[in-house]
Amino acid sequence: MDVGTIVSNSLKYPFRNIKKLPILFILFILLAIIPIGMISDNKYLTIFGLVAFFVFILIVPGYLFSFVKIGLNESSMMPSLSFAKNIYDSIRVLVLRVVYMIAPALVFFVVLSTLGTSSINMLYELKIHVFVLTFGLTLLIVLITYIIFEILLFFAKARLAYLNSLSEALNMYKVAMDIKRIGVFNIIKWLLFMVILMIVFSFISSWVMAIPYVGLLIYVCIVIPLLESIGNYSLGLLYSNIADDGGNIVKFENDI
């Protein structure tokens, strides 16, 4: 499936499941309770929001992970909620994120410890131009490292969805080989699509957010879920291009 078809199918996907789409919106209401409680200055609602946020963290990442599986299977159905399975998948996705973010975190702390003291000395000595250059270089190094491992994490999640094996998803060499099989150019086009989509949604959302209180609720409970469903589904579709190519990839077993 070419990237153009992936983009087209992904944009249509949420709206092919209008009846089930409210499930996704309702889940994200859990994320909106804390800000609502803070805005209304209701401590009980804020405390309830903290509990709701914990429930959100347990369920929603695993549920969104199901969209990757649906995309892998090139289906247009909306995944059903399964609390036990969603919690299990949420934990596995969290483990992936923690492991893949170790390297960017280490780079950040190493660079910070190396350049941090010297940067402060530069400020004291009024070497502003050197400080700006050093800070910019530090930020660039950290940003590049983060982007690389974030991309690896995308396809580690897709590999996990396909093989249903955390150890396979944690194998960075095999994940890198998956990226090579998909094609760097195809991935760049897909990433550009995602960036453009986020910019467009953010621009539209800026008008929605201007509506007091309601705007925030619409953004959290409708805009973000739509972006997440499109992004995860498109990742599954993109990975499906190598799902049947043999080699290290085994036959996909649909366990949704």
Taking the C-alpha atoms of residue 120 and residue 124, their distance in angstroms, rounded to an integer, is 6
HSE-CB for 49 with a 13 A CA cutoff? 18
Write down the residue that tokens 């919690």 correspond to: 87
The whole-number pLDDT of residue 130 equals 62
- 248 domain residue, yes or no: no
- 192 domain residue, yes or no: yes
Taking the C-alpha atoms of residue 45 and residue 43, their distance in angstroms, rounded to an integer, is 5
- 251 domain residue, yes or no: no
Number of neighbouring beta carbons within 10 Å of residue 128: 10
The whole-number pLDDT of residue 254 equals 40
The whole-number pLDDT of residue 160 equals 96
C-alpha distance from residue 188 to each of 4, 169, 191 (Å): 13, 21, 5
Looking at the 3D structure of the chain, how many domains does it have?
Answer: 1
Q: What is the pLDDT of residues 69-96, one digit of tens each?
A: 999 998 888 888 889 999 999 999 999 9
State which residues form the domain around 151: 3-242
The whole-number pLDDT of residue 30 equals 87
- 30 domain residue, yes or no: yes
HSE-CB for 110 with a 13 A CA cutoff? 9
Taking the C-alpha atoms of residue 184 and residue 178, their distance in angstroms, rounded to an integer, is 10
- 26 domain residue, yes or no: yes
**Residue (of 230, 247, 253, 251) closest to 68 by Cα position:** 230
C-alpha distance from residue 247 to each of 172, 177, 244 (Å): 16, 11, 9
Q: What is the pLDDT of residues 118-154, one digit of tens each?
A: 655 555 555 666 666 767 777 888 899 999 999 999 9
- 101 domain residue, yes or no: yes
Give every residue of the chain whose pLDDT is below 50, as ranges: 246-256
Whether the Cβ atoms of residue 11 and residue 33 lie closer than 8 Å to each other? no
C-alpha distance from residue 183 to each of 159, 177, 238 (Å): 15, 10, 10
- 225 domain residue, yes or no: yes
The whole-number pLDDT of residue 126 equals 55
- 38 domain residue, yes or no: yes
